[in-house]
């Protein structure tokens, strides 16, 4: 039945493209999480009246985050071609998509981290200070655990956005379901391939959302 | 134990300069429960935060157990803070940690090993009466239980001083009393010096030995709680005292009482400390030819004895009444004739 509905879909190709999409999403989510977290924490702690209050660092980080968050992703990929070539040695394939994916998504996640950290009760940070905690201890044992549900739901939203970004990157040759849908499906007028690729992307998104929701619920003890 | 000299904190908000704490000099001996009372904005929150270096003073010094808190910073200050712990109005527990993990938090900060932490937290859970709730999360606890966790957490590193920042203001009256009793118990058992700030006079009355009244960043009145209750000097102090003793001697009440009891003489008696517990009235009735009618009474118990007022209607000959009053005077009961009928 699948063959009558999707005559042009090659199972092996589809599977390979799905794995590439998963690979790009997973790697970029991982690095986005780390970089976004660091940027978010810096934004939070350098704000006025915070532990590392520093106008210059706060302004620079804020400017970096705002600029890269505002550039449309498709333009960012093109702008980053020289950087990607230098870093990866090529501008084709899943790895070549990673720099643009991470640089596009990390500032977005940094904003979410900042919002999550701002939600933490100031009194709890004061209590930790009154116990003689170092800033590092406060980050590790207060800021991160107390904002965990928001950090997880934030990275879930970001990961889903990244699935979409990988498809966009696919159009310029990153591989994955985006490339398959565009080159194999759209350009060769095989609507069934495009449709199947879309279904595969939806399944990935649903799975990411499900896992994210589950982890958020589990982390929240409020 | 605690020595404040010329302590001043000015907040510079760009446009305006706000003097939150204005040249405060205070000495709190070891083992004392010292209360600071004031309305919001009086500077008491800032003052208590100067004691553990959460705020840096603009002028003056804070010395705790011989160590100048204002002169140290970094690792030394963090070490000192482990000996000056704090509890808060809104408890400030980590919701992501269980009761036990919250209590172990300061021990983790102090670098105590896991086994030792477990042992210490078990002791503290028992001390504050939270057995059986070790694995509960703060969200599953009542306000009083949360404050007990806060207290256990504050005691984890064997502090010398406990700072209480409106620790009972978010609790209902019964829970407030239970928490205050726990604080007195800890003060007696561990010899801990306690400094508390509040806007509620009954907290001061119930547990404090001495009290400082703050207004506009200054300490306007200071003394033994009992003494301050008897002889409040400042208007603001009188207002606070009235919170717990009621205003039975306001002109309005006096006129009302006179209308109600037109015969004989109305006399207000003020009992302080020991006399409040002696059967002076019984003696008075037995020995003098006066008829005694209790019109109004109020006794407050403080840490250093009771304080009470009683309004009596005395009926009898003028001679007998003045003899009776002399008798009361001889027993150190202050009397005040509120007027004849």
**Are the beta carbons of B157 and A131 separated by less than 8 Å?**
yes
**Are the beta carbons of B92 and A141 separated by less than 8 Å?**
no
Q: Which of B200, B203, B298, B314 minimizes the C-alpha distance to B248?
A: B298
pLDDT in tens, A21-35: 999 999 999 999 999
**Are the beta carbons of A123 and B78 separated by less than 8 Å?**
no
DSSP letter assigned to residue A71: S
* Residue B182 Cα distances to A100, B151, B191, angstroms: 59, 9, 13
DSSP letter assigned to residue A50: S
B109 touches chain A (CB under 8 A): yes
Q: For residue B232, give how far its alpha carbon lies from the nearest alpha carbon of chain A (Å).
A: 34
CA B33 to chain CA mean position, Å: 7
**Are the beta carbons of A131 and B81 separated by less than 8 Å?**
yes
pLDDT band at A15 (very low <50, low <70, confident <90, very high): very high
Length of chain A: 222
* Of B86, B90, B96, Cβ closest to residue A130: B86
B window 67-96, beta carbon within 8 A of A: 77-82, 85-86, 88, 90, 92-96
Q: CA-to-CA distance for A186 and A179, rounded, in angstroms?
A: 10
Q: Which residues of A touch B110 (CB under 8 A)?
A: 132
**Are the beta carbons of A132 and B92 separated by less than 8 Å?**
no
Model pTM score: 0.84
**Are the beta carbons of A129 and B54 separated by less than 8 Å?**
yes
Task: State the pLDDT at residue B341.
Answer: 42
Q: Which residue has the higher pLDDT, B280 or A177?
A: A177
Written as tens digits, the pLDDT of chain B (341 aa) is: 899 999 999 998 777 888 999 999 999 999 999 999 999 889 999 999 999 999 999 999 999 998 999 889 899 999 999 999 999 999 999 999 999 999 999 999 999 999 999 999 999 999 999 999 999 999 999 999 999 999 999 999 999 999 999 999 999 999 999 999 999 999 999 999 999 999 998 899 899 999 999 999 999 999 998 888 878 889 899 888 877 766 555 667 777 777 888 888 888 887 777 666 667 888 888 888 888 888 877 777 777 777 777 888 888 888 888 888 888 888 878 787 876 54
* Of B96, B97, B106, Cβ closest to residue A131: B106
* Residue B337 Cα distances to A203, B258, B314, angstroms: 90, 12, 10
ipTM: 0.87
Sequence-distant (6+) residues with CB within 8 A of B125 are B99, B100, B103, B131, B133, B134, B152
- CA nearest to A128 within chain B: B106
Structural contact between residues A198 and A6, judged by C-beta atoms closer than 8 angstroms: no
Sequence-distant (6+) residues with CB within 8 A of A84 are A90, A91, A96, A99, A100
A interface mutation test: which of B46, B94, B160 has the most A CBs within 10 A?
A: B94
Token reading at B164: 């209480």
Structural contact between residues A42 and A115, judged by C-beta atoms closer than 8 angstroms: no
């Amino acid at each position: 039945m699948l063959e009558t509905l999707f005559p042009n879909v090659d199972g092996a190709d589809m599977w390979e493209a799905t794995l590439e999409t998963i690979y790009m999403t997973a790697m970029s989510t991982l690095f986005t999480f780390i970089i976004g977290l660091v940027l978010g924490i810096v934004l939070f702690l350098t704000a006025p009246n915070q532990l590392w209050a520093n106008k210059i660092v706060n302004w620079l980080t804020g400017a970096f985050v705002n600029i890269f968050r505002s550039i449309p992703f498709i333009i960012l990929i093109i702008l980053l071609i020289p950087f990607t070539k230098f870093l990866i040695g090529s501008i084709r394939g899943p790895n070549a998509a990673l720099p643009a994916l991470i640089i596009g998504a990390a500032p977005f996640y940094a904003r979410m981290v900042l919002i999550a950290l701002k939600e933490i009760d100031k009194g709890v940070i004061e209590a930790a200070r009154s116990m003689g905690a170092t800033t590092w201890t406060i980050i590790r044992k207060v800021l991160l655990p107390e904002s965990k549900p928001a950090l997880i739901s934030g990275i879930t939203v970001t990961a889903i956005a990244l699935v979409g970004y990988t498809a966009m990157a696919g159009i310029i040759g990153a591989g994955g379901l985006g490339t398959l849908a565009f080159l194999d499906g759209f350009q060769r007028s095989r609507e069934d391939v495009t449709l199947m690729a879309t279904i595969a992307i939806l399944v990935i998104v649903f799975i990411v959302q499900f896992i994210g929701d589950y982890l958020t619920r589990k982390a929240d003890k409020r | 134990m605690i020595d404040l000299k010329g302590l001043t904190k000015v907040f510079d908000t760009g446009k305006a300069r706000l003097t939150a704490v204005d040249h405060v000099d205070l000495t709190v001996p070891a083992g004392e429960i010292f209360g600071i009372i004031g309305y919001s904005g009086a500077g008491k929150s800032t003052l208590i935060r100067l004691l553990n270096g959460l705020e840096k003073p603009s002028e003056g010094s804070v010395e705790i157990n011989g160590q100048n808190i204002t002169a140290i910073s970094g690792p030394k200050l963090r070490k000192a803070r482990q000996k000056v712990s704090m509890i808060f109005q809104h408890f400030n527990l980590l919701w992501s940690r269980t009761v036990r993990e919250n209590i172990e938090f300061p021990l983790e900060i102090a670098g105590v090993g896991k086994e030792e932490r477990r042992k210490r937290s078990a002791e503290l859970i028992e001390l504050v009466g939270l057995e059986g709730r070790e694995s509960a999360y703060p969200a599953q606890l009542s306000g009083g239980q949360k404050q007990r966790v806060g207290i256990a957490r504050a005691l984890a590193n064997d502090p010398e001083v406990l700072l209480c920042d409106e620790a009972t203001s978010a609790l209902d009256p019964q829970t407030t009393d239970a928490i205050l009793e726990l604080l007195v118990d800890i003060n007696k058992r561990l010899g801990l010096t306690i400094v508390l700030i509040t806007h509620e006079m009954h907290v001061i009355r119930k547990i404090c030995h001495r009290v400082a009244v703050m207004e506009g960043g200054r300490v306007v009145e200071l003394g033994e709680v009992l003494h301050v209750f008897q002889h409040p000097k400042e208007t603001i102090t009188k207002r606070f005292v009235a919170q717990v003793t009621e205003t039975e001697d306001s002109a309005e009440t006096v006129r009302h009482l006179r209308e109600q009891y037109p015969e004989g003489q109305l006399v207000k008696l003020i009992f302080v400390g020991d006399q409040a517990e002696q059967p002076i009235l019984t003696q008075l009735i037995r020995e003098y030819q006066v008829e005694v009618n209790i019109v109004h009474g109020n006794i407050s118990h403080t840490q250093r004895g009771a304080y009470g007022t009683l309004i009596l209607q005395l009926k009898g000959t003028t001679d007998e009444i003045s003899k009776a009053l002399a008798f009361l005077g001889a027993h150190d009961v202050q009397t005040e004739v509120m007027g004849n009928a």
